[in-house]
Chains A and B, each alone.
Chain A
Amino acid sequence: MFRYIGQRLLAAIPVLIGILFITFAMARLLPGDPCRAMLGEKATDQICDAFNERYGLNEPIPVQFGIYMRDVLHGDLGESYRYGKPVTDILIERLPMTIELSLAALAFAVLVGLPLGVISAVKRNSAVDVGTMLIANTGVSMPVFWLGLMLAYIFGLLLKDTPFWLPPSGRNSSGMILPSLIETWNLNLTSGPAYSVLMFLSNLHLFNSFVTGNWPVFVDTARHLILPAVALGTIPLALIARMTRSSLLEVLSQDYIRTARAKGLRERVVVLRHGFRNALIPVITIIGLSLGALLGGAVLTETIFSLSGVGRILFDAIQARDYAIVQGITLIIAATYVMINLFVDVTYAFLDPRVRLG
């Protein structure tokens, strides 16, 4: 098992270097001059020379790549021209929002999609099955941004003055203040790794308000998260439900399932213990693949619901030619994606001995 994990980790290294190279090249290929994009009309040649000097933009391209590689390995993702602060600080601020959103969307997709898939497989061709597959087929065909806007309209406007009203934008209601963990716990920290980690955790609003017992903020954050998570989670939900159904149907037609039934096991045990576990592998693949789609969909969802996560800031940074942010965020997202795929492969090996021994 460990050998297998080691092999997979080694295989990920060239891909990660490829990603580094692409993010670097991409940022350099962006048309336009960052200095002029940033400073606009005010930029004179003299100012731009100083600007390029400061951000290392006047070095030859290979040297810039070398410097970039070295810095990344030291955990330094460069400095944003636009915000005038390190990209890691921006990530600490913005990444938690996107993580919270993606995890909430994934939780929604898995918690609803898996049971739906199992029920439709067990009750094949019933009304529940037909209904589920109808939802699944339309679900995968819906544009995320359309679903998001329609949800915002229905729950934010039509259902106003009913208990079903949900906030259609933003991360928290105005007036809801959530102090960082450092403030709440009166810690004397202003920098360093511990500070960064605590700030990162503080910006996970659900986590922060949960551990500090700040229930009004917790409920408020959760309510704001529902619509974006549903919008973002619907496509994965549909994919998971479809895959669970077809995979479980295939497994349930196997001989060992007949054996299990023949020896008098209850149907529940047959389906859940003998069937479901073996049907899980393709489902896990789909869950892993959906996470990539979630990260892409986050740009759209964050735009619609006015959330300032990394998806939105990446989009803005591309427009503003803020190289460092573009590189940093794409790198983090691509690396996360590679790690997720790695994790998925390891999960296979855990579930199915044939994978790790074969």
Chain B
Amino acid sequence: MFENIDLVALEEEGFIGAIACNTNGSIIDATSDELEVFGSILGYITQVADMIGEPFGMDSIEEVHFESANVKAACLPQEDEAIGILCNSRANVDQILSELIN
């Protein structure tokens, strides 16, 4: 899944890593071995975020972005999997996402 991406170019933009997990939490692909913990929470984040939108009458969630002091992250639920990306706090996550997925 991530074999064709230009990691060096993305890392210059603040990209740290990406991981794809299926609904069971098993890793499908990852750019680094250190993303296992991050991957393990993707499914749960998506489920809870979906439930937050439920009382508003929203359809299924498309993206979850979250950030700490040093890191920005995004989670994109797909049909049977979830893709997560990690970036540093200065990165433009939307731009990196578009480059990674398209």
Partners in one complex: no
- B interface vs A, CB < 8 Å? none
